[in-house]
Amino acid sequence: MTNPQPIQPGDHVGVTFDDDDSLAATTLDFAERGRRAGARVLVLAAPRLARALPGVQLTEPRGTLDGLRDFYAQAVRQAVAEGLSGLWTSVEMSWARGIDPEELVAAECGLNTLFSDGRLTAICHYDSRLFPSAQLARFHQAHPVGQQGACLRYRPTGRGVTFTGEADHTNLLAWQALTRALPGGEAVIDISGMSFLDVRSMAQLGLVAAARCEPLSIVASPGQGTHLRMLGVDRVATLVTVEEPGLPVAAQAAP
């Protein structure tokens, strides 16, 4: 899948660059979008990039994964307390090249739930001159939104999460992490507003349901429901099919 949509509040985007000019262009566009959204803009990048980003205040990255989630959560709270819509942060990831790649993948996946209320928006820039292609593919899979891949968006509900957009191999790790991050008790995953899920992404819903002790309901379109039944997901989860995405299930079931 190809994502032609502009970045929206709440997106966690992974991109690759191969020269400082392309990094600068993407960063400047992102920063301008953040300012128009009424957010604080934080650009984390090495000092060497100051020449490529004139007029942009750079903050040097922390260089560690420790406390990263708390750092972002606190920065968002502070921005909102000051009357801003949230935090838009652009992160040039060369600082992470000494970190174990799978630890970095796990950290990127673990951050995804911070974006669900739309107040945190981030773009992570990976330099293809520093990271091998196999690692880059894994890093991109940990992001719900990619520069040339699927675009997955999500918002929490009272008992679970509602997804829109697309899920495929390009954001598989993010999809797996988000579908596992459900609240305790009876939970609901609503995929009825999604435009595309590949077979592996649909099968993931069955794996999530089978691993839970509590009941899981999946709200799906009629076509999605057909494919989920073909995969046997209805044997481990309750499938609820709806004709119109976004309309409460009870309302659609009413005569």
Q: Using one digit for the tens of pLDDT, what is the confidence trace for 180-223?
A: 999 999 999 999 999 999 999 999 999 999 999 999 999 999 99
pLDDT at position 5 is: 65
Print the domain residue range for 197: 153-253
Do 226 and 177 have their domain in common? yes
Please tell me which of 32-36, 46-50, 240-244 the model is most confident about, judged by mean pLDDT: 32-36
Q: What is the pLDDT of residues 102-124, one digit of tens each?
A: 999 999 999 999 999 999 999 99
Q: What is the pLDDT of residues 54-67, one digit of tens each?
A: 888 899 887 789 88
pLDDT at position 33 is: 96
User: Is 205 in a helix, a strand, or coil?
Assistant: helix
Do 70 and 142 have their domain in common? yes
Do 71 and 92 have their domain in common? yes
pLDDT at position 64 is: 83
Stretch (H or E) spanning 165: strand 160-167
> Residue 4 domain-assigned?
no
Please state the pTM of the whole predicted model. 0.92
pLDDT at position 4 is: 47
Tell me the pLDDT of the chain averaged across its residues.
92
Instruction: Check pLDDT > 70 for residue 247.
Output: no
Cβ 152 vs Cβ 179: under 8 Å: no
The CATH number given to whatever domain includes residue 223 is 3.30.750.24
Q: What is the 3-state secondary structure (H, E, C) of 108-128?
A: HHHHHHHHCCCCEEEEEEEEC
Alpha-carbon gap, residue 34 to 30, rounded angstroms: 6
